[in-house]
Each structure stands twice: as structure tokens, then as C-alpha cells.
Structure 1
């Protein structure tokens, strides 16, 4: 069993969306509810936190080194040096009870992010694409908790999770214009395993899924729907994962304290931590960057 390490002392209320910044050699993640972007420099052993003064669902690195972000008030660009937030478009200004959740860039450099109701009890969320020209396109609606996203260039596929469905769905994906078609279910998650949350993909095209309430991340074959392996973690609410390090062999995993009782927090003192499984036995791919 490969060992799980805690990356640093920082604990998030709702840690999410880890992304490896290749140019700066940092692992970056968000604390959604506190509106924080955390940047950890493993070599320098130092943490930098950017406070954006609103909930932040997801970030991706831009080709110019800054961040594109899905925030409570819509899409924006964040200067990674000053922390200045430039809000650009809010497709759900008319839905103040929604917030953005998970988001990532596709292979062509578009930023995809989905929304969810703060109450988590109705299908008022949607999935959007934020383009280089700063236009926003709605791709899906009737979403309850928009979550994990991943693309396979080889399969010309887009994989997506709406958490309460306990499924991963696949769409045919056209890189040239970003369209998605032919939706079908490729993975069914047993309820007792925990709810599927964030997701990433490895070099072999296998999907890695974080399990909310499941104490684990799992690896799946999206062609056969078969679970291949599982890594157990010392916290129940596991939210997302990504590969990082110079060779993309380290698996970074976010977690949350949200929703845990005082007694559960005593039993899970590491809840909310960023974990890493170094040299996890698998290799990831660099995250796609936003072409701004």
C-alpha cells in the first residue's frame, strides 16, 4: 500500500480543484467556501494564499501565467501576483441561489465550469464554456451538483459527473468547436462507495474519481466501466485529485471538513487537508491551459 502524506498544515473547509502549475512548479487548489486559492511550493516548502472575497468553484492556469476562475459571481481572470480579480461574465446573475463548482480547460484551451444550487437539492445547475473571446455558452442544464470533468484526446471524449446521479457520462467531443454529443453512461458508482466528486485522467486514458463520503479515490476504465484500483484516505469527504510533480507521478488529493460533526472531526483530524501519494504507480498528463 502506497503511503498517503499530508502536503502542508493548511486545512480547507471545502478543498477542491487541484491543478499543477507546470511553469511555476506549484500545486494549486481552492477552498470554495472561504474564497481562497492556495499555492504550495514543494521545493521552497511555502504556502501562498490568494483571497478573492467571494466563493470560488474552480481555477485553471492561463497561458500567460494568471488564473481563469469560476467564482460565485461568474467567470473572471485573477492576477496571480497581485490577486486582483477582473470579473468578466455572469451567466447566472438571475440565479443568486446558485454557485459555480468544478471546472477545467479542454484540450483546445476553453474553460468549462458548472453550477449547482447552494441548497444541493434541485436540478438548477448548468454547465458552461467560457471562450477566449470572453463569450459564454451553456452546454447542459438540469444539473444538481456539477462536478468532475475530463477529456480524452485519443477517444475524442468528454467525461462528466453530476454527483447525485452516481454516474460518469461520456460525450463525443469535437475539439475544433467544443461541441458535445451522444451522451451515454459509462461508469456506475455503487452508493456505498461514496458519491463521485472531482475527476482526472491519466496517460493511459483511465479515470480517477474522488468519492465524497467514501474515504477514497478510485481508478476506472471508461471503456469497460470496470473499477481498477482504489487508494484509501484518512478523511471521508474526498473532493478531487490531479497528477503533479516534474514527471506527473504524484497524485494530489483534496478533501473537505464541510458537513462533518464535531465528533466526526475528532475522528478525522486530517479532514480538509491536501494529500499526496508520491510515485503513485501511475502517470498523469499536464492540465490544459486557458488560451486567453
Structure 2
């Protein structure tokens, strides 16, 4: 039986092409009582050293942007109104959306100069964050996984040997915390046992082998009932991008979505809408030759689609207090 497929539609197209260079990490957020979508644009051009935060409000469709003093790999809502936790170059800190104040909390220990902080996920209690780094050349295993604990703002290396640490999902069960992690060039989702208190990570095998799929697995989100949605960044000149929901127990594809005119899908996000759940997908123009960019008019846009999900798993806020 074929996997049920839904065509996503464009939710937001940036006014400037540079704003669609590398959008990632969409998250639901509430600002001044208004439900919104938060995401980062890691950088605005291949040689850019700065990026930005973006917000789109669901009630009006209006947007806001904040330029940052570096390249943001992630932005996570926190328990402080108007304050987000941001991974910026080699630092992790808070950014106040009202005052524009950047406050570093911690830094990657002994970072390689060719790496940057990339994707992240808070633990279910919001008291810790697992984040990864990436080799900006996407070539060598210079990157790794790190743990930030709030309260002491301590950053520890959990493992090295990665090249481009991307999507993450953390679940809690009787056996403790489980981390599902994507190191993009491997085209796999690896399962780990995470002990945040002991600051230890133990590999527990491959959860999903995606080497037969077109494109590279990038961002990932928990879809509940032991399923995850994976976004695929496809550098080939294809007509559309894809995101797929997989069953972690069987590895089977359960549901998929396509993004016409935008093959480089970076990250998924689930948002509650009415009595259902919608999927938001960020896409990028990063690295597109001019001819391919002309053939992909929606590249760099955000997309939205209906899903078959009845509920979306809770997205924990980072607890700074």
C-alpha cells in the first residue's frame, strides 16, 4: 500500500532572498498572548557571519525579525516571556526579543574553528538541552553532541565524531531518557540512552536506516505514538522536497508531505490548529545554482500542511528560572 501523501502549501515567502538562505528550527511560541511560529535563518549568504530570528503570528500573518551578532543554530522558547535560548556560533545564551539583549550562558568546550552550533532539543522537564555542532564544510567528523544544564549553565561534550549533527527527539520512559539523533551524512537516526544527571550518553543502535531515501535527513520532530517526522534536504534538481513520518518500532513510512518548488527541506514543526494538527516545514536556498534556483520558485519559503495526527506532543519550554 502506498504511503499517504499530502502536498504542502506555501505559508510564508521571505521578502528578501537572503532571508530564505538557511531557515531552520521552527517552534511554536506565544508572545504577548499571541500564538506564533519562531525560526532561525542561520546565515544570509555562503560567507555571511550573521543570521537572524524570525517570528510569524498566526492571527494576522504579520512577521518580526531580529538580527543577531552571529549565526544561530537554534532558538528555543523559555519560561521567561519574550526570552529565547539561542545557540550562536560556539555559545549558548538568552536573547530578549524586547530589549535585543544577548546574554551568553555557556560555550562549547574546545570548539574546532570550522564548527558551529546546529540543532537542539530540550529534555522533557526543560532543565537541560542537548545540542549538536556541524562542520561548515560538511566534510569531516569535527562535530559532536553537547549537553547544557540550566541552573549551573554547564556545557559538556557527550560524544564527538559527527559531521553535521541535526534533528533530535528526546523521549522519557520507564528506562529514563532516550535521544534520537541525526548525523546527516550517515543517513541514519541513532538511538541513545541519555543520563542528564550523570552527563552520559550510551549508543543503543540505529533506529531508522534512511540510506535508501533520496536526499539527506535534516531536522526531525516527535510525532507521538513512537513516530517521528524527518525532513529531507535534497540537493538534486528535483521538483519537490519531502518530509516523512516513520514508525520507530518498524522503520516503516507512515505518512509523507511534499513541498512543490522547494527540494531542500530543512526542519519540521507540529502545531495545534483547531481540532487537528498542522505540519510546518522550513526550506532553504543554500547552495542552489542559479539555474536550479530559477526552477525552484518556492525555495526558502515556509510550508504548511494538514496531518493525520489527532494531537501533537507537547513542546517543552526551556526552564531558565
TM-score, normalised to structure 2's length?
Answer: 0.85
* Partners of 2:265 and 2:148 in 1: CA distance: 27
Give the counterpart of 2:146 among 128, 134, 141: 128
Q: Which residue of 2 aligns with 1:12?
A: 20
Q: Which residue of 2 aligns with 1:137?
A: 156
CA pair 92-173 structure 1, distance change in 2 beyond 3 A:
closer
Aligned runs of 1:231-242 on 2, under 5 Å? 231-234=257-260, 235-242=262-269
* Partners of 1:250 and 1:236 in 2: CA distance: 20
Aligned runs of 1:198-237 on 2, under 5 Å? 198-213=219-234, 215-234=241-260, 235-237=262-264
* Partners of 2:173 and 2:108 in 1: CA distance: 32
Q: Is the 8 Å Cα contact of residues 277 and 307 (structure 2) preserved in structure 1? A: yes
Summarize deviations over 1:247-287 as a string: whole Å, max 9, x none. Answer: 5601010111001111111111111111111x322132231
Deviation at 1:52, TM superposition (A): 0.6
1:79 and 2:96 are equivalent in the alignment: yes
Structure 1 residues without counterparts, runs of 5 or longer = none
Q: Is the 8 Å Cα contact of residues 190 and 203 (structure 2) preserved in structure 1? A: no
* Partners of 2:220 and 2:303 in 1: CA distance: 15
Deviation at 1:229, TM superposition (A): 2.1
Total equivalences in the alignment = 291
Summarize deviations over 1:84-137 as a string: whole Å, max 9, x none. Answer: 211222225642221111112111211221111111110000111111121111
Q: Is the 8 Å Cα contact of residues 70 and 100 (structure 1) preserved in structure 2? A: yes
Aligned runs of 1:119-198 on 2, under 5 Å? 119-132=137-150, 133-154=152-173, 156-174=177-195, 179-198=200-219
Deviation at 1:178, TM superposition (A): 6.0
CA pair 182-124 structure 1, distance change in 2 beyond 3 A:
closer
* Partners of 2:130 and 2:34 in 1: CA distance: 23
Q: Which residue of 2 aligns with 1:113?
A: 131
Query: Which range is displaced more, 29-38 or 239-248?
Result: 239-248
Summarize deviations over 1:146-175 as a string: whole Å, max 9, x none. Answer: 001002224742100000001001112346
* Partners of 1:24 and 1:252 in 2: CA distance: 18
Structure 2 residues without counterparts, runs of 5 or longer = 45-50, 236-240
* Partners of 1:94 and 1:198 in 2: CA distance: 23
Summarize deviations over 1:55-101 as a string: whole Å, max 9, x none. Answer: 10001111113111111131111002222211222225642221111
* Partners of 1:91 and 1:207 in 2: CA distance: 28
Q: Give the superposed CA RMSD.
A: 1.9
* Partners of 2:96 and 2:39 in 1: CA distance: 15
Q: Which residue of 2 aligns with 1:284?
A: 312
Q: Is the 8 Å Cα contact of residues 109 and 155 (structure 2) preserved in structure 1? A: no
* Partners of 1:171 and 1:93 in 2: CA distance: 23
CA pair 25-216 structure 1, distance change in 2 beyond 3 A:
same
* Partners of 1:175 and 1:225 in 2: CA distance: 27
* Partners of 1:86 and 1:73 in 2: CA distance: 13
CA pair 33-224 structure 1, distance change in 2 beyond 3 A:
same
